[in-house]
Chain A
Amino acid sequence: MSENRSRLFDGRFTRRETLRLCGAAAVAGLVDWSLPFPAGARERRPNIIFILSDDHRWDYMSCMGHPFLKTPNLDHLAATGVHFRNAFVTTSLCSPSRASFLTGQYAHNHGVRNNLTMWRDNNVTFLELLKKTGYDTAFIGKWHMPGAGLPELRGVDEFISFTVQEGQGRYFDCPLYINGVLTERRGKYITDDLTDFALDFIEKKRTRPFCLYLSHKAIHHQFLPPPDLDNLYADADVRLPKEADPWVTMTAGMTYTGTFGPMPHLIRKYCATITGMDRQIGRVLKKLDDLGIADDTIIVYAGDNGYFWGEHHLVDKRWAYEEAIRIPFIVRYPRLIRDPGRKAPQMVLNIDLAPTLLDLAGLRTPNNMDGVSFKPILAAAGTRGRKAWLYEYFKDFPYNVPEIRAVRTDRHCYMEYVGRRNPELYDVISDPREMNNLFGTPAGEALLPGLRDVLAGLKRGQSY
């Protein structure tokens, strides 16, 4: 107990001291009532906003040097935070990746192995853990995990989501379940609509810190931008990768990815949809500035998986190639990050999000989480990252992709397939587009024993 407090209880304050203390307490009370964090708390806990997009590949931002795409707000976020240039998903597919973000677990542990396997109600999310320690929580946006409708998600005060089109939602007029009540949203564009709900949640008067999970449908196909941006990139010159051509979207079973038609047109729409989402992220950033809580709020922006636009003669995701496993990943937290604008080279994963947010909120990582907190990397640029991690993909009918287990180190990616396909091995530093398969070559043979050992260790749950 502090000296002042003991003096107060002992009645040993002077009248002036007592008045000053009462005045301070009154002001603190008012502030405490109006701010999204407890102003009087000894250790202020941060607000948390996690924004998740769908199918946003890591290099489709203007700060990544994209030739025509404009993302000023994501660029601003990267300039004021830490931009992880080696961020990955452990399964490049919507449902498993989303479950990994929420639970901090690999797909083989949380059980959502593909877009057909059910979410287990005993899975524990970081929202639930934060709620238990006094956070106000909201899940707003895409849930998209198999099951009978939406789950009874524990630990969320507000749950706004959708179930139409098997949980994929619609860009326009998407009906929403608003805390269990199905509500028509005629005339609404979904990214804007979800952002409106997010802003309402952020600006609520509260005494506790908040955690907002804002999960967009964008930029999933059908790549529909808001109407005013529909022709934004109509004249953009789209150059496809060398091995691609406009008809890749219609070959080798890729018609099921919903990208039927010539690819350049789809890419322009994809980019306009990204810009539409970027604009809404700008609204969130502005709201934090307006409320004066930007410094006390952690913002994480991530994509749920990468995306091929013709690389390896593919569209969509799923495979263990770089275009599919890399994600955009930006973290801003002014109170912790001393060198904003840093481009962090360490490898971070979707399964690291939950442990990191818990760590930043002062909580320990539960033993059943596979990820590790990257808070030390946020605090100090020179912190060592992980050396290797496990990639896993499970069969997802009718998509034409075999089951994959792969190990990605800071230099190599070794992929094993279930079925008749040979393994692949690439040096991602000297061959970033993974065009030169080292499997079966003398160089590859020399690397294989070590990589196979690491892969076996990762499958057993070891960390590297």
Chain B
Amino acid sequence: MEKWSFMSRAVIPAALPLLAMIVLELIYYNSWRIDNYGLHQGIAFISGIILFAVIALAPAYTYSVAFFRGATQAERIIASLVTPLAWLIKELYRVSEFFTLGETFYYGLSSIFLLSLFGSLALMAICEMIGRQRLNKRGLRTGPVITAIPVAAIAADIVVALLFFAWGMGVHGFYIYMKGYRLLFL
């Protein structure tokens, strides 16, 4: 498989969703300045959905493009985490207004960020296996498609989703998280 330049195989696939996230954030958070109520609601609704989708699905896009452009595994993983990590860092900076440094880091371990992180890893795992399967099909690669590490990543994501979102609609996971907070900070 041809190996593209570093810019093409890692930087651009990482930068495009990041740029989309920034633009969509600007659109979403400024849409209420539009005087027309219907237009504001429409733009906010659509930009909100796409923004959510971009943050959630960016790793899948980046990983797939990077994979087929010959990026190394480390490059693929790092590039895929750029958008979710940028979102996390932006959120942590925002809450550092309210919380101490320790609390800010602990905030980064809360359910929504854990799900984002583990969800990103699971998406990468799925893309990895799809990529392998396609390369095998094209005769560019030999070897198993399904291996332990991608399967473990998917399994871990399912566990996190069940614990923090499905179990009692997330209430129980939240209380476990808060028990940790009390233990550490109170």
What is A's interface to B at a CB cutoff of 8 Å? Answer: 116, 165-166, 222, 240, 242-247, 250, 252-253, 255-256, 258, 260, 313, 395, 397-398, 400-403, 419-421
Contact = CB atoms under 8 A, between A and B. Distances in A.
B32 A244 contact: yes
A5 to B, nearest CB: 62
Contacts of A256: 110, 174
Given A246-B48, A256-B174, A395 B98 contact: yes
Nearest to A260: B170
B37 A400 contact: no
Contacts of B178: 166, 398
A354 to B, nearest CB: 28
Interface in B154-171: 168-171
Interface of A is mostly: loop
Contacts of B97: 402, 419-421
A397 B175 contact: no
A244 B48 CA distance: 12
Contact of B40 (A242, A252, A397): A242
B63 interface: no
19 contacts: A116-B186, A166-B175, A243-B32, A245-B45, A246-B45, A247-B52, A250-B48, A253-B91, A260-B170, A313-B32, A397-B99, A397-B103, A397-B181, A398-B99, A398-B110, A398-B178, A398-B181, A400-B98, A420-B97
Nearest to B42: A245
Nearest to B33: A243
B41 interface: yes
A406 B72 CA distance: 55
Contacts of A313: 32
A231 B43 CA distance: 28
A222 B52 CA distance: 23
Interface in B23-43: 28, 31-32, 37, 40-41
Contacts of B44: 245-247
Contact of B107 (A244, A250, A398): A398
A435 to B, nearest CB: 11
Given A395-B99, A398-B181, A402-B98, A245 B174 contact: no
B94 interface: yes
Contacts of B32: 242-245, 313
Interface in B84-128: 91, 94-95, 97-99, 103, 107, 110, 112
B41 A245 contact: yes
A254 to B, nearest CB: 11
Size band of the interface chain B makes with A: 20 to 34
A400 B48 contact: no
B182 A116 contact: yes
A260 B182 CA distance: 24
A35 to B, nearest CB: 44
B186 A401 contact: no
Contacts, number: 67
Contacts of A419: 97-98
A252 B94 contact: yes
A311 to B, nearest CB: 11
Contacts of B95: 253, 398, 400
Contacts of B185: 397
B75 to A, nearest CB: 31
A173 B16 CA distance: 49
Given A240-B41, A403-B98, 15 more contacts: A165-B175, A222-B169, A242-B32, A242-B40, A244-B32, A245-B40, A246-B45, A247-B49, A253-B94, A256-B110, A397-B185, A400-B95, A402-B98, A419-B97, A419-B98
A313 B30 CA distance: 11
B180 to A, nearest CB: 11
Contacts of A420: 97
B37 A242 contact: yes
A398 B95 CA distance: 9
Nearest to B97: A419
Given A246-B48, A247-B48, A250-B52, A401 B40 contact: no
A145 B44 CA distance: 38
Contacts of B52: 247, 250
B49 to A, nearest CB: 8
A403 B97 CA distance: 10
Nearest to A417: B97
B48 to A, nearest CB: 4
A209 to B, nearest CB: 40
B112 A255 contact: yes
A119 to B, nearest CB: 15
A250 B25 CA distance: 13
A400 B95 CA distance: 6
A166 B112 CA distance: 20
A258 B94 CA distance: 20
B16 to A, nearest CB: 23
Interface in B50-83: 52
B171 A165 contact: yes
A112 B130 CA distance: 54
Contacts of A258: 171
B127 to A, nearest CB: 25
Contacts of A250: 48, 52
A163 B174 CA distance: 16
A104 B172 CA distance: 33
Contacts of A397: 99, 103, 107, 181, 185
A116 B40 CA distance: 38
A430 B152 CA distance: 60
Contacts of A253: 91, 94-95
Contacts of A421: 97
B106 to A, nearest CB: 8
A242 B36 CA distance: 9
B113 to A, nearest CB: 10
